[in-house]
Amino acid sequence: RELSNFDYLMKLNEMAGRSYNDLNQYPVLPWVLSDYASPTLNLADPAVFRDLSKPMGAQDPAQADLVRQTYEQFDDPDIPRFHYGSHYSSAGAVLYYLLRLEPFTSEAIRLQGGRFDVADRLFDSIPETWRSCMSNMSDVKELIPEFYTLPDFLRNDAQLPLGTMQAGNALGDAHLPPWAASAEGFIEQHRAALESEHVSEHLHLWIDLIFGCKQRGRAAAEALNVFYYLTYEGAVSLDTLGPQQREAVEAQ
């Protein structure tokens, strides 16, 4: 293969105007696995992979039924129908993932008015984050490039005081799947999954959802891939909004 899946996706992000310099348009990459519980990862087994033909909010059949009902039952004269009130890519999601690295640490603190968010809402575990995306209609975020390239974001090398969860667990390094013995091991196996034959054969389906023909319109509705209207470019003129309104819209 002349071009890796990672490099191809990064090129698509660049062509779509996404950049490491813009938290609101940060590069977006897919979750490619669905197995974050097994002691070993078998990339020859199709069952370990996420369904790339469906958005994150529709991976679970029961969840898919709920988002379909949300869309069909929504009726507002001013707001178009949508499946999801949140988005697969946002500044908040980037800061959630990269909390342990500067300059994202400082940005996350600034976002919370000068302190860290409560510990139970911080990024603590890859398996738990996956489970949240499977069961929470307001949590449909995809991944960022660092999940395939940078083990550092998974470690609390700076010994940040991230707090203690209600269950009594102090936050430190992010918890990994059992099949990853270290942050480096996670990145190595996760990147191998992205470059696998299974993902290569199905990646175009995810690209249709994020960059292609299923972003908007009837195709998006049929694919359960319609997001709140303010998340789409051109939905509102930012220059007509006040500072607080603009910040709220950009956060979408």
pLDDT for the residue 142? 98
| 3-class secondary structure, 16 | coil
**pLDDT band at residue 235, thresholds of 50, 70 and 90?**
low
- Supply the DSSP symbol for 38: S
* Report field, pTM of the whole predicted structure over 0.85: yes
User: What average pLDDT score do residues 149-174 get?
Assistant: 96
pLDDT for the residue 24? 93
**pLDDT band at residue 185, thresholds of 50, 70 and 90?**
very high
Distance, in Å, from the CA atom of 190 to the CA atom of 181, rounded to the nearest integer, reads: 12
The first and second tokens of residue 115, run together, are 């302190």
Going by C-alpha positions, the residue among 191, 21, 166 that lies closest to residue 104 is 21
Reported as a single tens digit per residue, the pLDDT across 73-88 is 999 999 999 999 999 9
Reported as a single tens digit per residue, the pLDDT across 28-66 is 999 999 999 999 999 999 999 999 999 999 999 999 999
User: What average pLDDT score do residues 133-160 get?
Assistant: 96
Q: What is the percent of the chain with per-residue pLDDT over 70, rounded to a whole number? A: 92
